[in-house]
C-alpha cells in the first residue's frame, strides 16, 4: 500500500473521529475564519498527513540553513553586534532560514517578530531631526502646488462639495479615514508626515567634507556611475518591477522646487500618486456628482509619471480602476445600510455618502497596495517566488519581545533626505526604457548631447517638458495613448504597455550601470545630497548597525572601481552617500537575495519598508473591518495559494484586464519577471506544466444574444457553438468529462441515456425520489428548528439547514455514497456543510469559472476535492459491483475503510449497479457520476431557495396566499398551478442570468422580432442572456407579472437545446413538493432583520443582472447561504 493511501486512510480515520460541529451553521470554527486569518491549511487532516506534508514541504524548500558561511557570520554577530559585517551574509541567510520555517509555528512567529523589531527600529519614530529651519520673519509657507503651476483652462475639472453642503452640520464619520495630505496619521503629532513638511534627517553627520575637497559631480558620474554597456538584471526581474517602484518613490518623495528642504507629498504609502497630495488635487480626480465615491474614469493625480516610461502610469491606471471597482462594490453591498443607490438628492446627504464611500474605498485600495508591497515587492527583494515560497513578513500586529517591551506601531513616519537619495535606481532602467527616455530628453534639451548637459540646462528643459503635460487629470494621457469617449483608456493599450514591460528585462544594479542619458539627473541628485549635508557612506552604514568599510576594495571588490573612487575621494571615510550606495558591490542572487542591489541599500530598503507600514496607523491599529468593511478588509488579503506564491498584483491584472490575462498566464502571475526566467524558475520547482508562457492574445468582447429565438438557435447546434467549460469538467473527472460537455451527438446521447436509464430504471423511480425530497425536508425542518427566548414563533434557516442540506443528501446518499457526519451517523467522514461547500466549489469551477481573478485557486481547490469525490465514487462502485474496480488500491482501501464504515446496503448502490451493467470503464462511470452529482445538487438548491425567497417578498403576498392554498390540495389542476408558480419564480428570479458559448464558425444568429442578426466569426464569445430573454414581452406578455398559467413550453429556465439540463422533468416534479412542505408551515414569514433576507445584490454583467450573495464571513458568492423564516406551531 502506497504512502499516499496510508495517509488517505489516516485522514479518513481522523475525519470520522471528529466531533460534530456545534455551531448552528453546521461548520467548524476553522472553516469560517476570514481570508485575513492565517488558517492552518492542514486543519482537516490527520497527524500523519501533517507529518508527511511537513517532510515533503521541507524537501521542496531545502534545509533551513544551507550555507556554512552562516557560521562565521554568527560569530561576527556575537563579536560585533553593533557593526555587523553584511558581506558574511548573516542577514540574507537569516531571512532565507525564516522563509523555510512553517509560518504557523511559534518559532516562526517569534523569529518574524524579532526581524520586524530590528527593521522597524532602523529609523527613529518620530525623527530626531529635520532638514532646514523656518525664517522667523517670513510669511506662512504656501501649500504644495503643481510643479508647473498651470491654471486649469476650463475651470471645471474640480467639482468640489456643493455650496449647499459646505458648512452644513453633520455628525462625524463612523470610520477613521486618511486626510488628503497625509496629516493626522499620528493623532498626537498631526503634522508628522504631512505633505509640505520638511524632510527628516535620519543620520547625524560628524565627518566634515569641505566643498573644496569634493570631486566634480559630473566627474563622479562619468567615472563611477555611467554605464558602458547594458547588463540585464541577474534575477531576470522585468522592468515592471521598477515601474511599480516608481509608484512607491513618487508617492514618498516630491521635493519642493522652491524650497528643497520640503517634501511636497505625504510620507506614507497612501497612494497619493493616485489621489493627490492635498484636498485640491484630490477634488480634481473625484467625481463627486456621482454620490458613489468614484474617481473620474482612469484619472490619476500624479503628473510627473507622464515623464517616466509608461508602465508606471499604466499600473497607476489599474489602481484607479480598482478604486472604482471597490467603491461600486461597497455601495452594492451597503454593509451598514447607510447608503442608497441612486444617491440622495439632498446635497448634504449626497456629499456625505460620496465622501464616506470614497474614503472607505481609498483605505481598501491602499490595502491592495500594501499587500503588493509584501507579496510582490519585498518578496521579489528576497527572491521568494524563485524558491517557491509564499512566506511573507508580518509587520502589522502587536509585538512583545522576550524582555516584555513592546515594539510600537502606528507612530507615524517622515521621509528623510538619506532615503530620498537611496531610492534612485536608474541603473535598473530597461533597454527599451532607455531608448524611450533618450527620445524624451532629446526633445526637452533640444538635441544637446547628453554628456554636455549642465545644471543650468535643467530648469528650461523641465519647463518645456511640463508644458506638454495636461494639468487636468480627467483628460491627461501618456505615451501616446488616447482616451475613449467615456474618459477611459482602451484595455488593449494598457495591456500592451504592461506586457511589454513584463517582457523587458530590467538593468542590473552595479557601478557603471546608470544610462548616460540620465547624467544630468544623477548630477542633480548628488548636488542635492551636498546641499542637504547628508552623511557619508560609512556614517550611513554605522547608522544601520553595519560594519564600516576599511577600504575602497571592501566597498567594491572590482579593482578599477575601487581605485577610481580612491582617486576621487582619497580616503574611504570621505566616500559620499550617493555614489557610495549606487556603486557598491551587489548582493549575489541566492537564498534571501533576489533584488541584487548593494548590500547597504538592501538592508536600508527593508528597514524603510517595515517602518513605512508599521509606522502607519491605517495599516496597523486602524486597519480593521470596521474601517474597511468586512468585504473590503478581506478583498485586499493575500492569497498564498493563488499560483503566484501570494503575489497581489495578479489579482488586479485579472480583475481589470480579464480579456488580456488568462488565469494560468505567467504574464499575470509573475509580471515582475521576464517569461523566460519564470519558465526556468518554475521548471526548477517542477510545476512548469501548470502555466502558460505565451504572450496573451485579447479575448473578444462577448456578443449578446437576448431573445429566446437566438438562444435556441445557438444552443441547438453544438457543431457551431461550443461549450466553454469542457476543460474544467475534464479536470475534475480524471480527463473524461460528462455528457453535458460532449459536443459529439453520438457520445453525448450514449452517456445521457446511460445515466438517465440508470437513475430512472422504472416508473416508480420518480415517486421514490419525490418521497425522498418530501421526507428529508420535513425531517430537516423538525431537526433544525429552534426558538429564541422572548421572541414569538419557531425559527429555521430554511436555506442553509434545509434546502441546501436536502440537496447534499440527494447527491451524497443516492449518487455517491459519501459517509456523512450527522447526529444519526456521528462517525461519518464529512459534515453536511462540508459536502455542500465541496459541491459548490466544483460547480463554480466548471460552470461559473469565467473570470480569471479566481481561476487558479478555484481549479486548484476543485482538483483537490474532485479527486476525493472520484475516490469515493470508485469505492462505492466497487461495493455495488466489485468487478468494476479500476484501481486495485481502491479495493484495498475499501476493505480497510469498511472497518470504519461497514458496507451496508447504500441508497446509491442500485444506481451505481445499473451503471456498472454497461460494462463501461470505471473512469467513464465515475466521470458521469461526478457530473451528475455536481449538476444536480447546489444549483438545484439554489433554484429552490430563490423561488422560496421570491414568494416571501411582501410584494408577492397575493401569490404567496394562493401558493399556501394550493399546498393543501393534491388534485392535478392545483399541482400544475403550483408548478406554474415555480416556473414563474425561476423566470423572474433565475438561478443563472446567462450562459456562454464560443463560435466555431462564421454565422448570423437570428434574434427574431425584426431585429438584425448577431454576426459572429470563429472564436467569438456569445453571452446568452436568459434573464433578459425571459423578460421579453413578445414571449412573455406583461413580463413582470406572475402568471402561473403561462404555457410550459415558453420557458427555458434550465438551459436550452443540445446541452439542456437533463433534469428538467425531475425539477418540475420535485421542487413543488418542497414548496408544499415549506409553505404549509403555519403563518410562514421572514425573520425580522438581516436574518430574514438572503443578503446580496445584483451585479450587472453584459447588460444582465446577476444575483450575488454575501457569505457568513462577508465574502461574495453566487450561492445563497442563509434565510431564516419564522412559523407558528
Q: Which residues sit in the known binding site?
A: 426
Site of grid cell 436550452: 1056
DSSP, collapsed to helix, strand or coil, labels residue 768 as: helix
Whether 455 and 524 have beta carbons less than 8 Å apart is answered as yes
List residues forming the annotated binding site for heme b. 426
List the one residue out of 552, 583, 554 whose CA is nearest residue 570: 552
List the one residue out of 615, 621, 125, 645 whose CA is nearest residue 382: 645
Instruction: Return all residues near 870 (Cβ < 8 A) that are at least 6 apart.
Output: 732, 733, 734, 926, 930
* Cell reading at 607: 528597514
695 vs 708: CA distance, rounded Å = 38
263 vs 275: CA distance, rounded Å = 17
Max distance between CA atoms of the chain, in angstroms, equals 108
212 vs 44: CA distance, rounded Å = 71
759 vs 58: CA distance, rounded Å = 47
71 vs 883: CA distance, rounded Å = 61
Give the number of other CB atoms < 10 A from CB of residue 695: 16
* Stretch (H or E) spanning 795: strand 794-797
* Residue 162, beta-bridge partner list: none
Alpha-carbon distance values, 224 to 514, 515, 583 (Å): 9, 12, 7
Whether 384 and 651 have beta carbons less than 8 Å apart is answered as no
Give the number of other CB atoms < 10 A from CB of residue 266: 31
Dihedral sign, CA of 310, 315, 319, 322?
Answer: positive
What is the DSSP secondary-structure string of 341-408? Answer: SSPPSSHHHHHHHHHHHHHHHHHHHHHHHHHHIIIIIIHHHHTTGGGT-------SS-EE-TTS-EE-
Whether 318 and 653 have beta carbons less than 8 Å apart is answered as yes
Quote the DSSP letter at residue 442.
H
1030 vs 1073: CA distance, rounded Å = 24
Alpha-carbon distance values, 633 to 36, 638, 798, 942 (Å): 8, 11, 29, 27
606 vs 275: CA distance, rounded Å = 26
728 vs 155: CA distance, rounded Å = 54
150 vs 143: CA distance, rounded Å = 15
Whether 41 and 33 have beta carbons less than 8 Å apart is answered as no
344 vs 337: CA distance, rounded Å = 13
* Cell reading at 280: 485640491
Burial 409-443 (b: 16+ CB within 10 A, else e): bbbbbbbbbbbbbbbbbbbbbbebbbebbeebbee
List the one residue out of 443, 500, 507, 383 whose CA is nearest residue 99: 383
Give the number of other CB atoms < 10 A from CB of residue 811: 25
Site of grid cell 478555484: 858
Instruction: Return all residues near 621 (Cβ < 8 A) that are at least 6 apart.
Output: 409, 410
Give the number of other CB atoms < 10 A from CB of residue 464: 13
Amino acid at each position: 500500500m502506497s504512502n499516499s493511501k496510508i495517509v488517505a486512510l489516516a485522514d479518513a480515520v481522523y475525519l470520522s473521529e471528529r466531533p460534530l460541529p456545534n455551531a448552528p451553521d453546521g461548520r467548524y470554527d476553522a472553516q469560517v475564519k476570514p481570508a485575513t486569518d492565517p488558517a492552518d491549511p492542514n486543519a482537516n487532516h490527520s497527524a500523519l498527513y501533517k507529518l508527511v506534508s511537513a517532510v515533503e514541504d521541507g524537501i521542496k524548500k531545502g534545509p533551513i540553513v544551507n550555507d556554512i558561511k552562516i557560521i562565521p557570520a554568527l560569530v561576527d554577530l556575537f563579536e560585533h553586534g553593533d557593526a555587523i559585517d553584511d558581506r558574511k551574509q548573516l542577514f540574507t541567510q537569516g531571512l532565507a532560514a525564516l522563509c523555510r520555517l512553517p509560518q504557523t509555528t511559534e518559532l516562526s512567529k517569534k523569529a518574524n517578530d524579532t526581524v520586524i523589531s530590528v527593521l522597524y527600529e532602523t529609523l527613529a519614530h518620530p525623527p530626531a531631526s529635520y532638514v532646514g529651519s523656518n525664517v522667523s520673519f517670513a510669511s506662512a509657507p504656501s501649500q504644495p502646488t503643481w510643479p508647473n503651476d498651470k491654471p486649469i483652462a476650463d475651470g471645471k475639472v474640480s467639482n468640489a462639495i456643493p455650496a449647499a453642503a459646505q458648512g452644513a452640520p453633520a455628525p462625524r464619520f463612523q470610520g477613521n479615514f486618511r486626510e488628503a495630505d497625509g496629516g493626522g496619521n499620528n493623532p498626537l503629532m498631526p503634522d508628522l508626515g504631512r505633505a509640505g513638511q520638511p524632510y527628516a534627517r535620519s543620520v547625524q553627520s560628524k565627518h566634515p567634507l569641505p566643498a573644496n575637497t569634493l570631486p566634480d559631480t559630473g566627474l563622479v558620474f562619468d567615472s563611477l556611475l555611467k554605464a558602458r554597456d547594458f547588463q540585464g538584471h541577474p534575477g531576470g526581474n522585468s522592468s515592471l518591477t521598477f515601474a511599480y517602484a516608481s509608484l512607491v518613490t513618487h508617492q514618498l518623495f516630491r521635493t519642493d522646487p522652491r524650497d528643497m528642504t520640503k517634501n511636497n507629498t505625504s510620507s506614507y504609502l497612501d497612494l497619493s500618486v493616485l489621489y493627490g497630495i492635498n484636498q485640491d488635487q484630490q477634488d480634481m480626480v473625484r467625481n463627486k456628482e456621482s454620490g458613489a465615491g468614484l474617481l473620474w474614469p482612469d484619472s490619476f493625480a500624479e503628473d510627473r509619471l507622464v515623464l517616466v516610461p509608461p508602465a508606471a502610469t499604466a499600473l497607476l491606471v489599474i489602481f484607479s480602476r480598482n478604486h472604482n471597482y471597490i467603491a461600486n462594490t461597497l455601495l452594492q453591498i451597503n454593509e451598514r445600510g447607510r447608503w442608497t443607490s441612486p444617491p440622495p438628492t439632498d446635497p448634504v446627504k449626497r456629499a456625505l455618502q460620496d465622501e464616506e464611500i470614497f474614503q472607505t474605498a481609498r483605505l481598501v485600495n491602499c490595502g491592495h497596495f500594501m499587500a503588493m508591497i509584501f507579496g510582490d515587492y519585498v518578496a521579489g527583494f528576497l527572491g521568494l517566488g524563485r524558491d517557491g515560497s509564499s512566506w511573507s513578513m508580518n509587520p502589522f500586529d502587536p509585538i512583545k519581545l522576550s524582555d516584555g517591551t513592546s515594539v510600537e506601531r502606528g507612530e507615524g513616519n517622515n521621509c528623510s533626505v538619506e532615503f530620498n537619495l537611496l531610492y534612485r535606481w536608474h541603473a535598473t532602467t530597461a533597454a527599451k526604457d532607455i531608448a524611450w527616455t533618450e527620445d524624451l530628453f532629446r526633445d526637452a534639451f533640444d538635441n544637446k548631447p547628453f554628456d554636455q548637459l549642465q545644471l543650468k540646462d535643467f530648469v528650461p528643459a523641465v519647463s518645456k517638458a511640463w508644458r506638454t503635460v495636461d494639468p487636468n487629470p480627467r483628460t491627461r494621457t501618456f505615451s501616446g495613448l488616447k482616451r475613449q469617449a467615456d474618459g477611459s483608456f482602451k484595455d488593449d493599450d494598457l495591456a500592451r504597455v504592461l506586457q511589454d514591460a513584463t517582457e523587458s528585462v530590467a538593468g542590473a544594479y552595479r557601478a557603471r550601470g546608470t544610462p548616460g542619458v540620465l547624467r544630468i539627473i544623477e548630477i542633480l541628485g548628488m548636488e542635492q545630497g551636498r546641499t542637504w549635508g547628508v552623511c557619508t557612506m560609512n556614517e550611513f552604514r554605522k547608522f544601520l548597525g553595519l560594519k564600516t568599510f576599511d577600504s575602497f576594495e571592501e566597498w567594491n571588490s572590482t579593482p578599477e572601481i575601487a581605485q577610481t573612487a580612491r582617486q576621487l575621494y582619497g580616503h574611504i571615510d570621505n566616500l559620499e552617500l550617493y555614489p557610495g550606495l549606487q556603486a557598491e558591490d551587489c548582493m549575489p542572487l541566492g537564498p534571501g537575495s533576489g533584488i541584487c542591489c548593494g548590500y547597504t541599500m538592501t538592508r536600508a530598503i527593508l528597514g524603510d519598508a517595515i517602518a513605512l507600514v508599521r509606522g502607519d496607523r491605517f495599516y496597523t491599529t486602524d486597519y480593521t473591518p470596521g474601517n474597511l468593511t468586512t468585504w473590503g478588509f478581506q478583498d485586499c488579503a493575500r492569497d498564498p495559494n493563488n499560483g503566484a506564491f501570494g503575489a497581489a498584483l495578479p489579482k488586479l491584472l485579472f480583475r481589470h484586464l480579464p480579456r488580456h490575462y488568462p488565469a494560468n498566464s505567467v504574464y499575470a502571475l509573475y509580471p515582475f519577471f521576464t517569461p523566460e526566467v519564470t519558465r526556468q524558475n518554475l521548471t526548477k520547482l517542477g510545476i512548469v506544466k501548470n502555466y502558460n508562457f505565451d504572450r496573451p492574445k485579447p479575448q473578444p468582447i462577448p456578443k449578446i444574444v437576448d431573445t429566446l429565438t437566438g438562444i435556441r438557435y445557438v444552443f441547438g447546434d453544438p457543431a457551431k457553438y461550443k461549450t466553454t467549460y469542457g476543460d474544467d469538467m475534464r479536470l475534475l473527472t480524471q480527463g473524461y468529462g460528462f455528457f453535458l460537455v460532449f459536443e459529439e451527438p453520438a457520445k453525448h446521447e450514449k452517456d445521457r441515456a446511460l445515466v438517465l436509464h440508470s437513475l430512472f430504471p422504472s416508473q416508480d423511480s420518480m415517486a421514490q425520489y419525490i418521497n425522498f425530497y418530501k421526507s428529508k425536508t420535513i425531517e430537516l425542518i423538525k431537526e433544525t428548528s429552534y426558538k429564541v427566548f422572548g421572541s414569538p414563533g419557531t425559527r429555521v434557516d430554511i436555506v442553509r439547514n434545509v434546502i441546501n442540506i436536502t440537496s447534499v443528501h440527494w447527491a451524497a446518499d443516492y449518487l455517491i455514497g459519501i459517509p456523512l457526519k450527522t447526529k444519526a451517523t456521528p462517525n461519518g467522514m464529512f459534515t453536511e456543510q462540508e459536502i455542500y461547500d465541496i459541491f459548490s466549489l466544483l460547480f463554480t469551477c466548471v460552470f461559473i469559472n469565467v473570470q480569471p481573478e479566481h481561476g487558479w485557486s478555484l481549479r486548484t481547490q476543485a482538483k483537490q476535492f474532485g479527486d476525493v469525490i472520484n475516490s469515493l465514487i470508485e469505492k462505492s462502485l466497487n461495493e455495488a459491483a466489485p468487478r468494476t474496480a479500476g484501481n486495485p488500491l481502491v479495493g484495498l482501501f475499501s476493505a480497510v475503510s469498511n472497518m470504519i464504515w461497514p458496507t451496508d446496503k447504500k441508497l446509491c448502490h442500485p444506481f451505481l449497479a445499473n451503471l456498472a451493467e454497461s460494462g463501461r470503464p470505471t473512469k467513464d462511470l465515475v466521470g458521469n457520476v461526478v457530473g451528475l452529482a455536481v449538476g444536480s445538487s447546489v444549483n438545484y438548491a439554489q433554484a429552490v431557495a430563490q423561488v422560496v425567497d421570491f414568494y416571501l417578498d411582501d410584494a408577492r403576498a397575493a401569490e404567496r396566499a394562493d401558493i399556501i392554498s394550493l399546498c393543501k390540495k393534491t388534485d392535478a389542476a392545483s399541482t400544475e398551478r403550483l408548478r406554474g408558480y415555480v416556473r414563474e419564480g425561476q423566470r423572474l428570479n433565475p438561478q443563472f442570468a446567462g450562459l456562454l458559448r464560443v463560435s466555431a464558425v462564421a454565422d448570423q444568429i437570428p434574434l427574431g422580432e425584426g431585429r438584425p442578426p448577431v454576426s459572429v466569426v470563429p472564436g467569438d464569445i456569445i453571452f446568452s442572456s436568459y434573464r433578459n430573454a425571459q423578460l421579453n414581452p413578445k414571449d412573455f406578455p406583461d413580463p413582470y407579472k406572475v402568471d402561473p398559467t403561462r404555457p410550459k413550453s415558453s420557458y427555458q429556465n434550465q438551459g436550452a437545446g443540445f446541452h439542456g439540463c437533463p433534469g428538467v422533468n425531475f425539477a418540475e416534479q420535485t421542487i413543488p413538493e418542497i414548496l408544499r412542505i415549506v409553505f404549509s408551515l403555519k403563518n410562514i414569514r421572514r425573520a425580522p432583520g438581516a436574518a430574514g433576507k438572503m443578503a446580496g445584490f445584483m451585479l450587472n454583467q453584459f447588460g444582465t443582472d446577476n444575483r450575488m450573495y454575501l457569505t457568513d464571513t462577508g465574502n461574495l458568492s453566487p450561492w445563497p447561504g442563509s434565510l431564516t423564516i419564522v412559523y407558528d406551531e
